[in-house]
Structure 1
Amino acid sequence: MNTDVLVIGGGNAALCAALMAREAGSRVLLLESAPRAWRGGNSAHTRNLRCMHDAPQDVLVDAYPEEEYWQDLLKVTGGLTSEHLARMVIRASSTCRPWMRRHGVRFQPALAGTLHVARTNAFFMGGGKALVNAYYRSAEALGVQVRYDSPVERIEVEGGEFKAAWVKGQRISAKSCVLAAGGFESNREWLREAWGQNARGEWPADNFLIRGTAYNRGVLLKHLLDDHGADRIGDPTQAHMVAIDARAPLYDGGICTRIDCVSLGVVVNREGERFYDEGEDFWPKRYAIWGRLVAQQPGQIGYSIIDSKAIGRFMPPVFPGVKADSLPALAEKLGLPVETFMQTLNAYNGACRVGQFDHTTLDDCHTEGLAPAKTHWARPIDTAPFYGYALKPGVTFTYLGLHTDDTAAVRFGNLPSRNLFVAGEMMAGNVLGKGYTAGVGMSIGTAFGRIAGRNAALAAAGQAAAHGAVKDEG
């Protein structure tokens, strides 16, 4: 079997690539490893796209200029990012929505509980599942061939040039290929290998939950890195990693299992001790560091503790918190050492310097003489009833990936492939060395998916890849 452009993957980046290549006139075949009912990978669990804009735009309020977006990204990554590629993603985010709408994606204003990102993020009507379904409908209407239950076992690459892919013993050749098959977060063995054993004799990865798809096993990523010597980027232990409800399922818990009250209270480990500043920055800029923080604690577990003053100020998770009328009773219900827990809470309450509390700003409510400090939104936890949520690390996607440039070409020995391209989570580490800010994963996937699809079509037609963001918005 042969085609012009082969797209391996079934989420946002893959679909953007397939649509762009088809619009350019190529015959396109998309291979999704999951069954149809589970198509879309992690994209099905998303809600929004972080968008640069210089003035109000339909569902986006005020302005979110390029420099502010870049500074937000620079802060959360700690400088572990390619400024050139990051700025390309940022600029592309300002112009992609008309194209998305043409393919059936609809947007809506931010919902109650998410108003703090109404300026920076455009929300999908119906969430990520609706976006994925819209793209599949559009792709099929345009003549993109889609095959489900089609995991690619390996690909043939000669001299950095793609030749064919193997699926269930069948060889599929193509003039060009886009890799958009996700990270390796659902490969427990690889996670164990990456994280290793800690000083307490624990294997932290054994306690990780996977927020998204069970199908992102990193088979092609490992194949490209180990067997074909593709250039790599990123740390295998870095990931979009969130503190989620410890009662969440092993796979596909999605956003509803996230615990969003962390900044409104304190977080303790199983010893009853705090270990990080809960008020360091706004939650959309910090929620994705808490999974890693919890992963470093004994037993890879933490506990978010709030009182009744916090109720109504955060998006409630799917499971109710453990409730008690006193702090000692809450500690007992959570299985925490009561004496240490009360020492921690009493020290925190005594250190609070409450000013003008405002969870929508970096307010002046802070602690004094406490380590670790709580630098914003610090109020005593003193008003019954009290609530506690057990937290475990929830991995969304991993950052180890394939090194690329602004053509989205896979690189071998620092030389770009003529006809093999990469998009989405398989290359997100070029922009995200660590950390995360809400909606940027979809920005990366959309920008590089479209670039990869366009350049795959050019390669299939025997033309050189083009540099820079796609500009044919229409």
Structure 2
Amino acid sequence: MFDVLIIGGGNAALCAALMAREAGASVLLLESAPRAWRGGNSQHTRNLRCMHDAPQDVLVEAYLEEEYWQDLLRVTGGQTDEALARLVIRASGTCRDWMRRHGVHFQPSLSGALHTARTNAFFMGGGKALVNAYYRSAEKLGVVMRYDSAVERLELQDGRFVAAQLAGGERISARSCVLAAGGFESNREWLRSAWGQNDQGDWPADNFLIRGTRFNQGVLLKFMQQAGADMVGDPSQSHCVAIDARAPLYDGGICTRVDCVSLGIMLNRNAERFYDEGEDFWPKRYAIWGRLVAQQPQQIGYSIIDSKAIGRFMPPVFPGNKADTLPELARQLGLDEARFVDTIQRYNAACQAGQFDHTVLDNCHTKDLTPPKSHWALPLDTPPYYGYALRPGITFTYLGLKTNADAAVHFAGQPSPNLFVAGEMMAGNVLGKGYVAGIGMAIGTAFGRIAGSRAAQAAAAAAKGI
């Protein structure tokens, strides 16, 4: 019998496995994906949001706990557990040395990644390199790993973990267990149920693309919900980004993002604006646009820019539609020409002259326009013009298991003595809604490490009959 069973194969699961093994526990990790697709959504990440009180290696200036907390509070609208959120924030300031010991390397913020040099530490080689480094370290330490090993259900007794049952019927017992198997973003039927039908009788979730892994079906999350575990979060809330409509159904990752929204305007299928494109810095707002687009007709939006924006954002993988006139661009996008041109002309007329600076909350804004554009409002008047069709891209869902500072799963308000949770399966404790770049990896790293340590302690106590 293993001391600790880890269910999942992404960042949170690997952090838990490494911490449990470092504490002396024998560890078995079960990854539902084949080896080639291991790592869950973590393989698509690229950075970690870090608190620091002075310049540190790849991070410039300072990013103090209170500013980090205020950034999170703002994007979640207060829908967050402050104690757990601050735990994550503080842990983000001390985890990088441990990560380096397990082979993770960092690099300075990319030149096209605006405003993140102070707040986010980027992984050299991206999330795939981080995942591979952790797997190599875990193998060296003696963590046993199995791929293609999807867990279907758990055997529980009065809130205590007893064993896991694989889809093929195999039963695996352990002295303690960490659940880190992700959300349900790849389960189309669950997404449909969570989002329901809109007023037009459509099912918005049918038009969602999945930025992350196809293996996050939410099987264990659903089992735990039905088993009476305490839950947290709204099933319709998620990390949802507006991504290129030509992106693949699964595993598009970072490269499907289109980051020019704040430099132009966003239109819906009716060629109408529907939200303030310049509300705040892009890393604090990029993850609201998927949900906004999901609420529009046919779940599609169109980011429109002119040539002044070129070179001011990370170039997308797929080129946009390009035209020398606005009517021509409207025709290419399949939008009503007259309405398209009228919307842009009204926006142009509302733009107030100011000092444009995309690195600050500048004074370029609109006047007497609904919705307003609060910053970076420049007229779209310099051809060629560009348009990008965007769809909602779900990264991970926020419905999860309620937990505490020990990462314990709760039943009827009581923490389990040997069942713990980390990563997407509990992120909803910190993220009730909204997102700020890099917080997902911070949550997974903090709670993965806590869960692994606590699981090792629980296993040691069980081995002694305590």
TM-score tier (shorter): over 0.9
Amino acid at match of 2:358: H
Partner of 1:183: 183
Q: Distance in 2 between matches of 1:155 and 1:89?
A: 28
Partner of 1:342: 341
2:175–2:462 contact (8 Å) kept in structure 1? no
Q: Distance in 2 between matches of 1:235 and 1:367?
A: 34
Question: In the alignment, does 2:211 pair up with 1:207?
Answer: no
1:117 Cα offset (Å) = 0.3
1:343 Cα offset (Å) = 1.1
Q: Distance in 2 between matches of 1:14 and 1:317?
A: 31
1:354 Cα offset (Å) = 2.1
Q: Distance in 2 between matches of 1:359 and 1:320?
A: 22
2:247–2:256 contact (8 Å) kept in structure 1? yes
2:322–2:385 contact (8 Å) kept in structure 1? yes
Partner of 1:472: none
In the TM superposition, 1:324-403 aligns within 5 A as 324-403=323-402
Partner of 1:49: 48
**Cα shift readout 1:321-340 (whole Å, capped 9, x = no counterpart):** 00000011000000000111
In the TM superposition, 1:17-416 aligns within 5 A as 17-167=16-166, 168-226=168-226, 228-416=227-415
Amino acid at match of 1:208: F
Q: Distance in 2 between matches of 1:295 and 1:138?
A: 40
**Stretches of 4+ moved more than 4 A in 1?**
none
1:169 Cα offset (Å) = 1.1
Amino acid at match of 2:304: I
Q: Distance in 2 between matches of 1:463 and 1:278?
A: 55
Amino acid at match of 2:120: N
Aligned residue for 2:52, secondary structure, equals coil
Q: Distance in 2 between matches of 1:275 and 1:354?
A: 23
Q: Distance in 2 between matches of 1:384 and 1:109?
A: 34
1:133 Cα offset (Å) = 0.1
Q: Distance in 2 between matches of 1:182 and 1:314?
A: 31
1:114 Cα offset (Å) = 1.3
Q: Distance in 1 between matches of 2:363 and 2:108?
A: 30
Aligned residue for 1:452, secondary structure, equals helix
2:427–2:440 contact (8 Å) kept in structure 1? yes
Amino acid at match of 1:77: T
Amino acid at match of 1:414: G
Aligned residue for 1:153, secondary structure, equals strand
Q: Distance in 2 between matches of 1:115 and 1:104?
A: 27
Q: Report sequence identity in percent.
A: 77
1:116 Cα offset (Å) = 1.6
1:20 Cα offset (Å) = 0.2
Aligned residue for 2:110, secondary structure, equals coil
Q: Distance in 2 between matches of 1:463 and 1:29?
A: 17
**Cα shift readout 1:410-454 (whole Å, capped 9, x = no counterpart):** 000000000000000000000000000000000000000000000
2:114–2:359 contact (8 Å) kept in structure 1? no
Amino acid at match of 1:46: T
Aligned residue for 1:117, secondary structure, equals coil
Amino acid at match of 1:351: A
Q: Distance in 2 between matches of 1:134 and 1:398?
A: 26
Give structure 1 stretches of 5+ with no counterpart. 465-474
Amino acid at match of 2:128: K
Amino acid at match of 2:207: N
Q: Distance in 2 between matches of 1:301 and 1:114?
A: 25
Q: Distance in 1 between matches of 2:84 and 2:353?
A: 42
**Cα shift readout 1:167-193 (whole Å, capped 9, x = no counterpart):** 121100000000000000000000001
Partner of 1:470: none
Q: Distance in 2 between matches of 1:297 and 1:407?
A: 41
Q: Distance in 2 between matches of 1:59 and 1:178?
A: 32
Aligned residue for 1:267, secondary structure, equals strand
Normalised to the residue count of structure 2, the TM-score between the two structures is 0.99
Partner of 1:4: 3
**Cα shift readout 1:228-279 (whole Å, capped 9, x = no counterpart):** 1000000000000000000000000000100100000000001100000000
Aligned residue for 1:461, secondary structure, equals helix
Aligned residue for 1:358, secondary structure, equals coil
Q: What count of residue pairs does the alignment treat as equivalent?
A: 462
Normalised to the residue count of structure 1, the TM-score between the two structures is 0.97
In angstroms, what is the RMSD of aligned CA positions? Answer: 0.8
Amino acid at match of 2:82: E
**Cα shift readout 1:121-172 (whole Å, capped 9, x = no counterpart):** 0000000000000000000000000000000011101100000001121100
Amino acid at match of 1:74: L
Aligned residue for 2:137, secondary structure, equals helix
